[in-house]
Structure 1
Amino acid sequence: MFSYCTDPKTLEGLQWLSCYLTTGKHLLFYESFFFVIALMLITAPIALAVGFAGALAARSHVAPVRWIGVGYTSLVRGVPDIAFFLFMPLALDQGLEWLRHKVKCPDWSDPIRQGSDFVVCAQAKLPLSSSPQWVHEYYGVALGMAAFAFVFGAFAAFVLRGAMDAVPRAQMETAEAYGMTRRQATWRVLIPQMWIYALPGLSNLWLILIKATPLLFLLGIEDVVFWARELGGRKTSAYDYPHPDWRLWYFLALLVFYLLLTKVSEVGFARLTRRLSRGQATAAGMEEARA
């Protein structure tokens, strides 16, 4: 990056360190921090939408729909998260390839399951072998995001369902007495008021999501954990910038990053709680009114 970084063997002190910290791999390491933040900002709304649909399904008067909603939340909450993080990307990948295989290669006669291998025709592969490298990388990221949304959507559904139940039943009865249908009362009375009850649980889920992002490392995605281990490991003289085992310092940097992210999240949720508490018959709302 700097003009004096041409020959690392001639560098010492701060010049060596400045060149070392601006190598191509380190720039990818810095980008991975923004990647983690972007992943959470994209995954959280998707998981919230999935959870919202699950909560409404669990409260449905239609028995099959209610069974799906209750079964979804119970299944995910009863299985270790890591099992879904490893299972979901594999299942989605093979499921999509199987569907494409049925459409694009109807004359295929060989079995798809060949021992432990999953074999489909070349046209059904996702991504295609001719696709650029960035397509392969983002495809893996998309599968990881789907796993996060599926898992955290179930927990969000449980939180939102409890928040809906916390809204006083008398308000729904009043809305129905004014002639509103059940659907109108749900969207105009129940949902606008449930958020203040759901916010504590959703804030906890957000913090858990922050702590769960290192699980991307298990899916082979080059996230902050991957680069911390890669860059911090001992480098011999075969490398341009040899150094001893510095993984401790790299993982300390990750510790500071996650603590700062958690602190910023707590401040943001505290402000959002104060805003949503205005006019609500809750402890925070009463305190806001007195103030």
Structure 2
Amino acid sequence: MFEFCADPSTLDTFPWFACYLTNGVHMLFYQSFLTVLTLLAITAPVALAFGFVGAAASRSHILPISWMGKLYTSMVRGVPDIAFFLFFVIALDQALEWVNHQIQCPDWDEPIRQGANFVVCQAAKIPLSSAPQWVHEVYNYFIAVFTFSIVFGAFAANVLFGAMRAVPRAQLETAEAYGMTRRQTFWRILVPQMWIYALPGLSNLWMILIKATPLLFLLGVEDIVYWARELGGSRTSQYAYPHPDWRLWYFLALLVFYLGFTRVSEVVLARITRRLSHGQATAGGDTQRKAAA
């Protein structure tokens, strides 16, 4: 980045670190923080949407829909996260390629399952082998995001289902007594009031999601854990910036990042809780009423 970085071996300590921390590889490291934040920004609302649909399905009076909602919640929550991540990413990738294979290569006469190998025609590959590298990276990233959303959506469904049941039954009966339909009662009475009961569980789920982001490293995405390990490892004289094993310092930087981000999340969630507690028959709402009296 700087002109004096042409020959790192001639630099003093401060210029050396200035060049080292601004080289191209470190820029990828800094970019990986954006990768993690983007994952959180996309996964949180998508997982919440999955959770809402799962919770609404679980309380449905139509038995097949109720069974599907409860099966989704129980099946995903009953499998260790890492096992589900590693299985679902491979299964989803192969399912997409199998469907594309049926469309692109209907005359294929060889078995797709050949022992331990999964073989489809080249035209059915997703993405194509000839696609640029960034296409492969974006594809892997969104497969990972979708997997995160499925897993955390199941946990969110359980939280929202409990929150729906926590809304006082008397309020729902009052709405029905005023002539509201079941759909109107659900959207106008139940949904607006359930969030205050769901927020503690959703807050905890958000913290767990933050801590789960290093699993991107296991899914083949070059996240902050990947780059911290790569950059922190020992570098010999064959590298432009040789240094001993600095992984401790890189992972310490990740520790500070996660602790700082968690603290910011706690402040934001506390403000949301105070806002949602206004006028509610909860401990938070009672505290606000006593303070205003």
Which residue number corresponds to residue 83 of structure 1? 83
Which residue number corresponds to residue 50 of structure 1? 50
Equivalent positions of 1:253-272 (< 5 A) are 253-272=253-272
- Structure 2 distance, partners of 1:118, 1:185, is 50
Which residue number corresponds to residue 277 of structure 2? 277
Cα deviation for residue 161 of structure 1 reads 0.3
Moved more, 197-206 or 124-133: 124-133
- Structure 2 distance, partners of 1:219, 1:50, is 21
Which residue number corresponds to residue 141 of structure 1? 141
Which residue number corresponds to residue 23 of structure 1? 23
RMSD: 0.6
- Structure 2 distance, partners of 1:210, 1:67, is 30
- Structure 2 distance, partners of 1:241, 1:61, is 65
Equivalent positions of 1:119-138 (< 5 A) are 119-138=119-138
Cα deviation for residue 208 of structure 1 reads 0.1
Identical amino acids, percent of aligned pairs: 69
Which residue number corresponds to residue 10 of structure 1? 10
Equivalent positions of 1:151-230 (< 5 A) are 151-230=151-230
- Structure 1 distance, partners of 2:136, 2:190, is 43
Which residue number corresponds to residue 116 of structure 2? 116
- Structure 2 distance, partners of 1:247, 1:44, is 30
- Structure 2 distance, partners of 1:268, 1:138, is 30
Q: How many residues align?
A: 291
- Structure 2 distance, partners of 1:262, 1:88, is 28
SS at match of 1:144: helix
- Structure 2 distance, partners of 1:74, 1:35, is 30
SS at match of 1:280: coil
Code of the aligned partner of 1:85: F
Equivalent positions of 1:33-48 (< 5 A) are 33-48=33-48
Q: Deviations over 1:145-167 (max 9, x none)?
A: 11100100000000000000000
- Structure 2 distance, partners of 1:284, 1:58, is 28
Code of the aligned partner of 1:211: K
TM (norm. structure 2) is 0.98
Matched, 1:99 2:94: no
SS at match of 2:126: coil
- Structure 2 distance, partners of 1:33, 1:97, is 30
Cα deviation for residue 183 of structure 1 reads 1.0
- Structure 1 distance, partners of 2:87, 2:188, is 39
Cα deviation for residue 229 of structure 1 reads 0.2
- Structure 2 distance, partners of 1:125, 1:91, is 14
Cα deviation for residue 290 of structure 1 reads 2.0
Code of the aligned partner of 2:4: Y
- Structure 1 distance, partners of 2:180, 2:268, is 35
- Structure 2 distance, partners of 1:19, 1:140, is 31
Cα deviation for residue 266 of structure 1 reads 0.3
- Structure 2 distance, partners of 1:86, 1:93, is 11
- Structure 2 distance, partners of 1:135, 1:203, is 34
SS at match of 1:75: helix
Code of the aligned partner of 1:50: F
SS at match of 1:41: helix
SS at match of 1:48: helix
Matched, 1:248 2:248: yes
TM (norm. structure 1) is 0.99
- Structure 1 distance, partners of 2:84, 2:32, is 23
Code of the aligned partner of 1:197: Y
Cα deviation for residue 169 of structure 1 reads 0.2
- Structure 2 distance, partners of 1:98, 1:246, is 44
Code of the aligned partner of 2:129: S
